[in-house]
């Protein structure tokens, strides 16, 4: 099994480059570019669809013969403004040129050519959980939005001292409608950046059980199992999730030992 905790490689340029081959799985890819003003990146999507997410900063973006102009609004992800995002289908070129210092995430999964290149607008806002389980969500491209063949993408803000992706849940069986098999990456940011968060990835049978202290800029791979994370008091956590599998639907099951928390909160 591939290493689950991935540190950024360097401070500028392509600091993350996670592929199905490097992750030893079949669907999800994730890359992150840290660009200075004037820096450019250009790629061909190949057999994969792509969602470009401006995590922070501004850039001009074009792809599939369209010029989307200068995109980006929040200069820090912790401003909690909604992200600017672009969908690029498989078999197309795309490029981005930074107009400010920026972070550009490249989320990818197998494409089938069913959807056109487009800017992703009207991104919603959700508050999920109760008490110290409260977190805030921008569902960039979840299943209720019919804009991608495979990709499910969302970002989550977890306040200091809170837990997220909790109660522990898993989506590692291709058994719709009870559960869907979805690989997942977590791209973590911390505020202030010297902080850390905790993420545990574990299966009910104990065959996988890893607990990681994640720093600002780290990625965690979730090939299977439950995957809660928490942020210590004093440090706010952000993460960008990318999921994909054989079916573009998110169906999960909570850990049987901890599902009582979700059941109790649903009745509150």
Both tokens of residue 39? 């820096």
C-alpha to C-alpha distances, 220 to 20, 85, 97, 240, nearest whole angstrom = 14, 22, 27, 11
Within 10 A of 16 (CB to CB), how many other CB atoms are there? 20
Decide: 243 and 250 in contact? Cβ < 8 Å: yes
The pLDDT of residue 268 is: 77
What φ, ψ does residue 265 adopt, rounded to 5°?
-70, -30
Kindly report the number of other CB atoms within 10 A of residue 213's CB atom: 11
- Is-contact 41 61, C-beta < 8 A? no
Check: CATH 2.60.120.10 for 5-267? yes
Q: Are 186 and 217 in contact (CB under 8 A)?
A: no
Q: Is 264 left (phi over 0), alpha (psi -120 to 50) or beta?
A: alpha
Neighbours of 27 (CB within 10 A): 21
Q: How many angstroms separate the most distant Cα atoms in the chain?
A: 53
The residue among 108, 96, 43 whose CA lies nearest residue 67 is 96
Contact 137, 205 (CB under 8 A): no
Q: What is the pLDDT of residues 111-150, one digit of tens each?
A: 999 999 999 999 999 999 999 999 999 999 999 999 999 9
**CA 213-219-225 angle, 5° bins:** 80
Per-residue pLDDT of the chain (268 residues; tens, 9 = 90+): 679 999 999 999 999 999 999 999 999 999 999 999 999 999 999 999 999 999 999 999 999 999 999 999 999 999 999 999 999 999 999 999 999 999 999 999 999 999 999 999 999 999 999 999 999 999 999 999 999 999 999 999 999 999 999 999 999 999 999 999 999 999 999 999 999 999 999 999 999 999 999 999 999 999 999 999 999 999 999 999 999 999 999 999 999 999 999 999 988 7
Dihedral sign computed on CA atoms, order 155, 159, 164, 167: negative
Could you tell me the two tokens for 257?
A: 């030992």
Where are the chain's structural domains? Answer: 5-267
2 CB-near residues (< 8 Å, 6+ apart):
22, 23, 24, 25, 221, 223
Say if CB 2 and CB 24 are below 8 A apart: yes
């Amino acid at each position: 099994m591939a290493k689950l905790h991935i540190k950024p490689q360097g401070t500028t340029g392509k600091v993350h480059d996670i592929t199905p081959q490097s992750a030893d799985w079949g669907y999800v890819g994730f890359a992150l570019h840290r660009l200075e003003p004037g820096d450019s990146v250009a790629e061909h999507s190949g057999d994969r669809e792509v969602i470009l997410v401006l995590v922070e900063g501004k850039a001009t973006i074009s792809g599939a013969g369209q010029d989307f102009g200068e995109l980006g609004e929040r200069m820090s992800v912790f401003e909690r403004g909604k992200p600017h995002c672009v969908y690029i289908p498989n078999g197309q070129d795309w490029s981005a040129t930074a107009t400010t210092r920026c972070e550009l995430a490249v989320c990818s999964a197998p494409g089938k050519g069913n959807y056109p290149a487009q800017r992703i607008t009207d991104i919603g806002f959700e508050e999920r959980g109760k008490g110290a389980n409260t977190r805030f969500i921008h569902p960039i491209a979840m299943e209720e939005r019919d804009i991608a063949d495979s990709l499910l993408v969302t970002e989550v803000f977890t306040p200091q001292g809170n837990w997220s992706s909790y109660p522990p849940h898993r989506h590692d069986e291709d058994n719709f409608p009870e559960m869907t098999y979805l690989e997942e990456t977590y791209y973590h940011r911390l505020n202030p950046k010297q902080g850390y968060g905790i993420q545990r990835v574990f299966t009910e049978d104990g065959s996988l059980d890893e607990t990681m202290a994640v720093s600002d800029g780290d990625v965690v791979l979730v090939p299977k199992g439950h995957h809660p994370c928490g942020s210590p008091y004093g440090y706010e956590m952000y993460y960008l999730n990318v999921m994909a599998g054989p079916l573009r639907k998110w169906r999960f099951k909570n850990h049987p030992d901890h599902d009582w928390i979700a059941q109790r909160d649903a009745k509150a």
